[in-house]
Amino acid sequence: MSRFLRPTVSCLFGLAIRVLGWVTLLWLLAAMTSLPWNLLEKLAADMPGGETLTPEVLVVLGGGGIPSESGLIRTFAAAQYAKQYPQAQLVVAMPSGEGDLTGQRMVDELVMRGVNRQRIRQETQGRNTREQAVYCHKLLAASGAEPVVGIVTSPEHIRRSLLAFHQAGLTQLKACPAWDSYLEVDLTYGADEVKATQWNPVSNSLLVRYKFWDRLVLQAKLLREGVAILYYRWMGWIK
């Protein structure tokens, strides 16, 4: 029996290697184009009608908390949006257990960046985007009329968050993506400036030095988010 299976297994293994090779090649080629950023912009866009809304409540999704890359960037962005929409209240959605001060650290970070502490409430029960949407809806429903809610989160997480909050019962939603900031100075350099050898092929190539690697990281985030969106659809948490 094994004599007959051996060629089949070998054929399937060879096919898997070829498929993996092509996928890897396409993955690397995509990192040399603007495709990852185009996809990110689509994920970070408003739902139809959202671009004209003015948030009355800004919900800050906690990410990895404070300190973490996602937590710090989202908190920084939330403070900027709070200045842009001075009438908006803020809700920090960050799960906290007994003795866990992660959510409070995010509140303190917002206050440090100029947000009045009286504008901020906490939602501490949601352990994922779905639960945060459900508990935020309950928290805001207790206030009466449904407010316009701005969702502050990472750009790749915006689409799933908007859909999850909409499914939970909040229908007036605005995208408030927490974009990274990048240096605006010229980072190219010549060999003479750094006393390098004359053969220095990457000194004037930001694609090789930075963009290619940034896009590889971004593609991993987009892949993860794509899987998460499929999972949420399968669970019925978004439509």
Tens of pLDDT, residues 14-56: 888 889 999 999 999 998 899 999 999 999 999 999 999 999 9
3-state SS, residue 60: strand
CA angle (156, 58, 110) in 5-degree steps:
95
CB-CB contact of 175 with 47 (8 Å): yes
Tell how strand 120-123 and strand 89-93 pair up. Answer: parallel
Domain assignments of the chain as residue spans, ordered by start: 2-41+185-233, 48-181
pLDDT for the residue 145: 82
**Model pTM score:** 0.83
Tell how strand 173-177 and strand 89-93 pair up. Answer: unpaired
pLDDT for the residue 238: 96
pLDDT for the residue 170: 96
Rounded to 10 degrees, the C-alpha dihedral 74/79/85/86 comes to 150
pLDDT for the residue 195: 56
CA 135 – CA 126 distance, rounded (Å): 6
Alpha helices for the chain (secondary structure H): 2-30, 35-43, 69-84, 102-112, 129-141, 158-168, 206, 212-235
**What is the fold, at CATH topology level, of the domain defined by 48-181?**
Rossmann fold (3.40.50)
Cα-Cα end-to-end distance for the chain = 48
CA 47 – CA 22 distance, rounded (Å): 34
- Positions in the chain short of pLDDT 70: 1-6, 97-99, 182-209
